[in-house]
Chains A and B, each alone.
Chain A
Amino acid sequence: GNSVTQMEGPVTLSEEAFLTINCTYTATGYPSLFWYVQYPGEGLQLLLKATKADDKGSNKGFEATYRKETTSFHLEKGSVQVSDSAVYFCALSERGTGNQFYFGTGTSLTVIP
């Protein structure tokens, strides 16, 4: 079946530190991969996505590369800001499955000044 595994948090970083949040997946077919972000008290927002192997999704300084050989989609940012404090969810969805999404458990990030 389909599933997503994320590194456990919480993660605490100082401002301007480098961020990596690991995500690996299991899929029966050829999924699209997503990172969503959830700020306190809000719903999930799409941060970036990649739809095929070796694609790199990027947005707001965040990047993730779709690695089919390692079934991974790790999220990175070179210099985090206090405003990046949020919960990050990795997710996958496969073609022809009715747009069903499978989410990881989320990784909480706190950035301190």
Chain B
Amino acid sequence: EAGVAQSPRYKIIEKRQSVAFWCNPISGHATLYWYQQILGQGPKLLIQFQNNGVVDDSQLPKDRFSAERLKGVDSTLKIQPAKLEDSAVYLCASSFPPGAGIPYEQYFGPGTRLTVT
């Protein structure tokens, strides 16, 4: 079974430039998550999709970050314009859709390491 795919793996940009990250979840996983992981910290949820709808984007800095999942499969996360503090690893994860029962495991991609100079 193919895992969560992400690209690019590494990106270096200057501040005020824009950047986009792509994620392809595991087939059949309706729920997709984008996390920001700053060095030395745990992942922080930025946005959660179920199919092509947003479930939670309360921690997404909407003045500069945007994300979409137009056909309910692949997703793109964009930063425009980037700031120095955006340097982090951006992780994509997917899972079966949540219900009222026991939470489902999230499966993570390898991440994109962003460096803003």
Contact = CB atoms under 8 A, between A and B. Distances in A.
Interface of A: 4, 32, 34, 36, 41-46, 49, 51, 89, 91, 93-101, 103-106
Contact of A100 (B48, B107, B109): B48
B56 interface: yes
B103 interface: yes
Interface in B62-109: 91, 93, 95, 97-98, 100-109
Contact of B4 (A43, A98, A104): A43
Q: Determine the main DSSP class of B at the interface with A.
A: loop
Contacts of A42: 110-111
Contacts of B93: 43-44
B42 A95 contact: no
B100 A96 contact: yes
B98 A98 contact: yes
B40 interface: yes
Interface of B: 4, 6, 31, 40-45, 48, 55-56, 91, 93, 95, 97-98, 100-111
A6 B81 CA distance: 34
Nearest to B99: A96
A2 to B, nearest CB: 12
Contacts of A93: 103
Contact of A99 (B6, B41, B106, B109): B106
Nearest to B92: A43
A32 B42 contact: no
Contacts of A43: 4, 6, 91, 93, 108-111
Contacts of B100: 95-96
Contacts of B4: 43
A32 B43 contact: no
A99 B108 contact: no
Nearest to A31: B103
B103 A99 contact: yes
Nearest to A92: B103
Nearest to B50: A98
Nearest to A34: B105
